Amino acid sequence: MKAETKDHLELHFLVIIWSFTGILGLVIKVSPQEVVFYRTLISVALLSIILLVIRQKLAISGAHLIRLLAGGFLFAGHWILFFASARVSNISICLVGMATMALWASIIEPLVEGRKVSTLNVFLSMIAMVGISIIYHFEFDSAMGLMLALLSALMGAIGMILNKNLVKSMNPFKIMFYEMGSASGLSLIFIVIFSKSMTGSVQIQFPDEFDVLYLFILAGLCTVYAYSMSIKLMKRMTAFTVSFAVNLEPVYGILLALLIFGEKEYMDIGFYFGAVLILMSVFSYPYLSKMKRVSFFKN
């Protein structure tokens, strides 16, 4: 098997894993910000064990520390908004809104790296956006959930681009350790401020035994494993390629949601028409990206 094909298969496997996060966010009973706090706290504990086993030193430069703290802030906001979106609407709306991550990456990544924005990348991302616009029209009652997902996608895209630059000189587990530590601290601060403003006192909800199990799955499988492997893949892939594959997350997520939650996740014809446009954009990308003879798509 070619190395490139193997990388793409691994990437799509990670997308399937990520599609579980919205479902886990619904079955876990603690608030979205507390989900992120416990998720990142458990991730830090697991990453500490991994770094100890592989004997990876934690020393980093001040410049790297600042960037990692920024990455932690971005991912904390990304996840809080993601889970909040799933709860105020449903998993389907949340995951389709997340598909805009590729559009953000197609514009921001070239600007950061000093490259010309790819017309093809923007074009295919816009097709996904058309799909989302159709869904937004037919699901007007879910506008708040969609807006939260769009903002979450923007923060996730910026965080992914930041990690692509960091992985050139740092171990992926080391990157995750510092970012999850930062995200854990920031989400705890958010919990304190939010609960203080809403109730007048600091209140933190502790997970029950089922939530603890789900949180360990969320942290161990969907975070430590999936995100570390995606960072590793970005040594050979662009942030756009990784984020564009996430466009398939709604498809996997919707199938899983229908299987688990049943009628709550059934959508009208507008939703499925928009989802088909997203699928078309994803599956056409590998072929169109090789059509360099088509001048319209040249960089």
DSSP 151-219: HHHHHHHHHHHHHHHHTTTS-HHHHHHHHHHHHHHHHHHHHHHHHHHHHSS---PPP-HHHHHHHHHHH
Q: What integer pLDDT is reported at residue 195 of this predicted model? A: 77
Residue 200 lies in a domain: yes
Residue 119 lies in a domain: yes
Confidence tier at 47 by pLDDT (50, 70, 90): very high
pLDDT in tens, 123-162: 888 887 777 667 656 555 567 888 888 899 899 999 989 8
Output the CA angle 120-91-72, nearest 5 degrees: 70
- 253 versus 205: which is more confidently predicted? 205
User: Do the Cβ atoms of 128 and 102 come closer than 8 Å?
Assistant: yes
CA distance 159 to 18: 16
Residue 136 lies in a domain: yes
User: Which of 103-107, 176-180, 206-210, 293-297 is the least confident region?
Assistant: 293-297
pLDDT in tens, 255-265: 776 776 665 55
Residue 6 lies in a domain: no
Determine the structural domain holding residue 263 and report its residue range: 30-290
Residue 25 lies in a domain: no
Residue 271 lies in a domain: yes
Residue 76 lies in a domain: yes
- 209 versus 83: which is more confidently predicted? 209
Confidence tier at 82 by pLDDT (50, 70, 90): confident
In sequence order, which residues have a C-beta less than 8 Å from that of residue 286 and are 6 or more positions away? Answer: 8
CA distance 276 to 299: 27
Q: What integer pLDDT is reported at residue 66 of this predicted model? A: 92
Mean pLDDT across the stretch 228-252?
A: 82
Work out the mean pLDDT of the chain and round it to a whole number: 82
Q: How many domains does the chain have?
A: 1
In sequence order, which residues have a C-beta less than 8 Å from that of residue 164 and are 6 or more positions away? Answer: 109, 231, 234, 238, 239
pLDDT in tens, 99-127: 788 888 888 999 888 888 888 888 888 88
Output the CA angle 138-146-38, nearest 5 degrees: 145
Residue 205 C-alpha from the chain's centroid: 25
Residue 12 lies in a domain: no
Confidence tier at 293 by pLDDT (50, 70, 90): very low
